[in-house]
Amino acid sequence: MNPCCRPTAFSAQLQVLADAAPAVAALIDRHEASRLDWLPGELVDFSDDDQLPALRELRDRARGLDPAIKVSVMLNLLTEEGLPHFHRIISEHVGSQAIWQRWTRLWTAEEDRHGNVMRDYARDAALFEPGALDRLQFDFLDAGFDPDWAGSPYRLLAYTSLQERATQVSHANTARLAAAHEPLLQKVLARLAGDEARHCAFYRDAFALALAADPDAALLELASVAPKLSMPGGTIAGFQMMAEVERQAGVFGPREYAALVSESLSHWAIGDVEPHGSEARRARDALMALPARLSALADRLEHRRQLKTFEFAFLRDRLAALV
Ligand SMILES: [Fe+2]
Ligand SMILES: [Fe+2]
């Protein structure tokens, strides 16, 4: 392994996380004070016979949803359904200390309801071809998800900080696009976006603890993941096309990623961090230049010839035009 990518050994980073236990406990307390205790069945449940008319109305509304919204729901749902991968990787990276295990359990329980409520919605709204979601989910879980975190707890915290915000933005933008046509989908996705915002707040401030205790190593780890966030789901069949649809629909792409990276760098005051070594100083400077680089990439993509139609086997209408 390249030594620049492993500036502090796994055990040393774990020790920093363990030493931060009182501050982590305070972050969990803050999260618990603001979290919503909700369950999927409170948002989506058409199981009683007298709800059959409402179920038909839901399907009528869902039939008219813009295909780009359905594609976004599929990609974001599959991402949520990758939870077994995320639970394993996070557990491997935060150690066995009780406070971190407490967080991992609570986070997993909260994330599990995301996939569940989206799945219930997709089934009841008859959003996709029968069986298509099951196959994609099975294949995603079977293919695995192994990002290059190099056994670094700091890299995990940097990644999850950015990823939670990305998921929040993606759910919130899909909710916004769905709002006029399908209020139940808007309500479900807005609820998820609220959870993701609180998860982001935890991970971001947990990463700030690492940054304060061990700035050189934390900067190097952040600089290793931020330029190209490897989104979970890259192994899903059709992932690139789904991501392209999301970008063109204004749900999530380099433009949105540039904004959240900029906001995160400001939150951590990365420009003011004074590392000890020259390598970490270069990493800090590269991070500060990143939002402009990502915005330039977004400009280039927007000037490229745009995809006009796309085809997905999971869509009931298969072929659809982007509007
Ligand atoms: Fe989630
Ligand atoms: Fe989350």
Dump pLDDT digits (tens) for 276-316.
999 999 999 999 999 999 999 999 988 876 667 888 989 97
Determine, yes or no, domain membership for 274: yes
Determine, yes or no, domain membership for 98: yes
150 Cα–ligand 2 center, Å: 22
Q: Is the pTM of this model over 0.85?
A: yes
Determine, yes or no, domain membership for 317: yes
Dump pLDDT digits (tens) for 117-142.
999 999 999 999 999 999 999 999 99
Determine, yes or no, domain membership for 5: no
Determine, yes or no, domain membership for 2: no
CATH value at residue 144 = 1.10.620.20
| 44 within 8 A of 120, measured Cβ to Cβ | yes
Query: In a 3-state reduction of DSSP, which class is residue 47?
Result: coil
277 Cα–ligand 1 center, Å: 37
Determine, yes or no, domain membership for 305: yes
Which residues lie near ion ligand 2 (Cβ < 5 Å)? Answer: 164, 196, 199
> Cα separation of 295 and 315, whole Å?
31
123 Cα–ligand 2 center, Å: 22
Determine, yes or no, domain membership for 44: no
Cα dist from 275 to 214, 219, 221, 252, 290, whole Å: 9, 8, 13, 33, 18
Dump pLDDT digits (tens) for 206-252.
999 999 999 999 999 999 999 987 777 777 888 889 999 999 999 99
Q: What is the largest CA-CA distance in the chain?
A: 68
Domain of 101 in residue numbering reads as: 10-39+51-321
318 Cα–ligand 1 center, Å: 27
Smallest-distance ligand from the CA of 117:
1
Considering its fold, how many domains does the chain have in total?
A: 1
249 Cα–ligand 1 center, Å: 21
Determine, yes or no, domain membership for 213: yes
Pick the range with the lowest mean pLDDT from 39-48, 83-92, 234-243, 250-259: 234-243
